[in-house]
Amino acid sequence: MVWNNAIYKKSWSISKPHYAVTIRLNLTYGDQYNGNFYYTIQGIKSVPHPKPSSGGQNFIGKNLNEITKYFEIFQSPFTSSSLDIEFQCTDTTADPRDQFCAISDYFIVVHYCLPFCQICNDGVSCVIWESGHTSQNCNTNQFLQFDSNSETYSCITCNQPGCLTCKNLEECTSCDFSKGLNNGVCFQCNKFCETCKGSLKTDCITCVSDFQRFIFNNQCQCLPGYYDDDINLPCHPVCGDLLVVDGEDCDDGNNNPFDGCHNCKYGCDAFCQECIQGVCYLCQNDLQIINNKCVGICGDNITSHDEQCDDGNIISFDGCFECQYQCQAECTDCKFGLCYDCSIKGWQLFNNYCIPYKFKKFYYIKQTIAKIVNMSKQMKNKSLNRTIIFLGKVNLQILQKQIR
């Protein structure tokens, strides 16, 4: 723009909230220019700016130099929605070939408030925010977009599948834990990977710690003490290896269900009412705790689960002693209080009892007589009765002989 002794006016509309403006331009004075340059902002006129006395070089006209001066006009505070600018060059002559002023590199910089700010005093803080906003930031899954037509900002949600943050709708900057990022695009990781560089199971970068896996040779393998069943994502504890890991209460390496730890879980026997970490603190009624087990109280006349019998006394060889079945001393094979063998010399088994060998015939005859009596009653036979009387006398003689 070149002129002489004239005024240039221009008004600009600014709709977006702002706090200042900067006007920049280069003013070139002609080689014989003798006037002044003025600028007027919002009706306020500047001081005169005459041609500098030195500098420059000759581009056009006579041998005198043209001189260029840089102007940077900063207006703050400036919140008006209309910017009115006026430039004026004055001179006493009318020949614009040598006596002129020219404007170049003319810029207007508007210093806007932060996005979503209605009123501000600078570009880093806000006095009043727009409704629904308390900062310039969008949600983490959104990006800030500026509409040059309306000069307004808006938050746009990232719409790429698996994208957590993005610069725009085409470029994702981070993906969710199950996806990798390549050239702004999210892709699905292998199911064992938390983060990855590819879709194969050998492309893992990190593993999901909840799956009890660790990275080794770019693969997510089971931690020590765990095994992979090739079906589920989480690794399973190896129960019985004496190594207590997550998912196990204990690991005693055995299969005893009543020692406080069974199948790698704390537990007590079935008769414990209060069990804490494999230790029994209270048993069911009529039971007591001995060596962390609930056992019966021998002698209370109550036969509990671990007792064969309970006769309430401490008499030996009466069939029950110390709550265990017991036979007479001469019995060598006693089961549930019944004798099945008498191997001691001089003793024989008779009706689950051990008797001296010399009484064997007596008992045999007595048993035979009892059978004959029973038959006699059934048959009402007189001859049988005479036989019974005879056998009775014989039996008595045998008994008397054995006693002597």
pLDDT digits (tens, 9 = 90+) for 381-393: 444 444 444 444 4
Q: Which of 19-28, 249-258, 364-373 has the lowest mean pLDDT?
A: 364-373
Positive or negative torsion for Cα 293, 299, 304, 307: positive
For every residue of 288-317, DSSP letters joined together read: EEETTEEEE-TTSS---TT-S---SS--TT
Mean pLDDT of 300-310: 87
- For 93, the token pair is 């002559």
Per the model's pLDDT, the better-predicted residue between 49 and 132 turns out to be 49
Alpha-carbon distance of 210 to 24, in angstroms, equals 61
The tens digit of pLDDT for each residue in 254-299 reads: 888 777 888 888 888 888 888 888 888 899 888 998 888 899 889 8
pLDDT of residue 400: 40
Alpha-carbon distance of 341 to 363, in angstroms, equals 18
User: Rounded to two decimals, what is the model's pTM?
Assistant: 0.42
Q: How confident is the model at residue 217 (pLDDT cuts 50, 70, 90)?
A: very high
Q: Which of 43-52, 105-114, 358-367 has the lowest mean pLDDT?
A: 358-367
The tens digit of pLDDT for each residue in 156-207 reads: 999 999 899 999 999 999 988 778 888 899 988 888 888 888 888 899 999 9
pLDDT of residue 1: 58
Mean pLDDT of 126-137: 84
- For 346, the token pair is 């001089």
Mean pLDDT of 133-137: 79
Distance of alpha carbon 71 from the chain centroid: 62
First-last CA distance in the chain = 161
Per the model's pLDDT, the better-predicted residue between 248 and 82 turns out to be 82
Residue boundaries of the structural domains of the chain? 2-112, 119-157, 362-403
Alpha-carbon distance of 13 to 151, in angstroms, equals 11
CA atoms within 13 A on the CB side of 341: 4
In percent, the amount of the chain with pLDDT more than 90 equals 24
Confirm or reject CATH 2.70.50 for domain 2-112, answering yes or no: no
Mean pLDDT of 40-52: 92
pLDDT of residue 93: 66
If you average pLDDT over every residue of the chain, what do you get? 82
Give every CB contact of residue 71 below 8 A, 6+ residues apart in sequence: 23, 24, 25, 26, 27, 39, 49
Pairing outcome for strands 101-112 and 67-75: unpaired
